[in-house]
Structure 1
Amino acid sequence: MKKFIDTKLEGFKLRYADESDTALILDFIKELAIYEKMLDQVVATEEGLRNSLFCKKAAEVIIGEYEGKPVGFALFFHNFSTFLGQAGLYLEDLYVKPEMRGKGMGKIMLAFLAGLALERNCGRLEWWVLDWNEPSIRFYKKLGAVPMDEWTVYRVTGDNLKVLGEKF
């Protein structure tokens, strides 16, 4: 039986995902990718997610349910700040179904993660947001989040990752 965490919003509960949620998590990832106009970049599979999330425990997921139905998720994992000398929580994805937005569910999920970061003695909670996503940017700023404008994200993937890794 799944263990639910009550929230201050009537009918809205959180719970940690388990292996039986793998297909749901992939569905949420695809819905988020559609919103972000990046569906063509999703190559994740149920098998890969199951292995990464529930066997290797590379990340954790919370599911938000409203009146017993899944309406959102957050996928997160620990990172580390050498400057702080502490772990942090990195929020990879936060998604609430469009018809459920504006009810405070995203804020509750972020507040839960902030509390979890404090409980785990993390120095910070951080995430990325697409530059064009003004609704999310306004939402995050309203919660006290600060953009890290002076940093640029770099990424090596695919063939370039392979080439670089083979140089060692």
Structure 2
Amino acid sequence: MDHAPDSPSPSPVRFVRPEDMPRLVELIHEHVAYEKSTPRPADLADRLGPLLFAEDTRLRVLLAETPDGTVAGYAACSEEFAFWDAASYLHMDCLYLTEEARGHGLGAALMEAVADLARESGLDHVQWQTPDWNEGAIRFYDRLGATSRPKRRYAWPV
């Protein structure tokens, strides 16, 4: 995903690095607010960092940068197992771009990087979900050729 420095068209997408944590956490909080979800813990960077950068991590985060190098979005993925298919797939838990970064190809670049990550991991598909009210995201995913599956997602505190 990271291109060589002399590459004619460097990718706007790269893997997260430890020094990106403050900006990633800002984007997560923006994403949470955008989806009208409950606020997340203040120590999010301290909790996520060790998980993201552990040697045996399953969690992969890709960042999208604007031409000036500003981190403007992210996709967070991990490998999951589909019991009915007896096969693993890449689960994209989050995809977010700042409002000003939308419509400039960064979302498509992030999705292509996610697809590349799945292929490099030997996985043949990616799954994700989006709120049913997020019509812009639904149009974007439909244009990619993705298909939706009607389900509700539940969370059960135990």
TM tier, shorter chain?
A: 0.7 to 0.9
How many residues get paired? 152
SS at match of 2:61: strand
Task: Name the counterpart of 2:142.
Answer: 141
Q: For 1:120-162, what per-residue CA distance to the aligned partner results, in whole angstroms no more than 9, with x for missing partners?
A: 221320111001111111111111111111x3323222xxx1x
Which structure shows the bigger proportion of residues in helix conformation?
A: 1
- 2:61 is the alignment partner of 1:57: no
Alignment partners' CA distance in 2, 1:66 and 1:126: 26
- TM value normalised by structure 2: 0.85
Q: Percent identity?
A: 27
1:1-168 correspondence runs (5 A) = 4-5=2-3, 13-38=12-37, 40-43=38-41, 45-55=44-54, 57-67=57-67, 68-149=69-150, 151-157=151-157, 161=158
| Cα RMSD (Å) | 2.2
Equivalent pair of 2:2/2:10 in contact (CA under 8 Å):
no
Distance 1:71 1:12, change over 3 A: farther
Alignment partners' CA distance in 1, 2:72 and 2:3: 15
Q: CA deviation at 1:15?
A: 1.1
Alignment partners' CA distance in 2, 1:12 and 1:28: 20
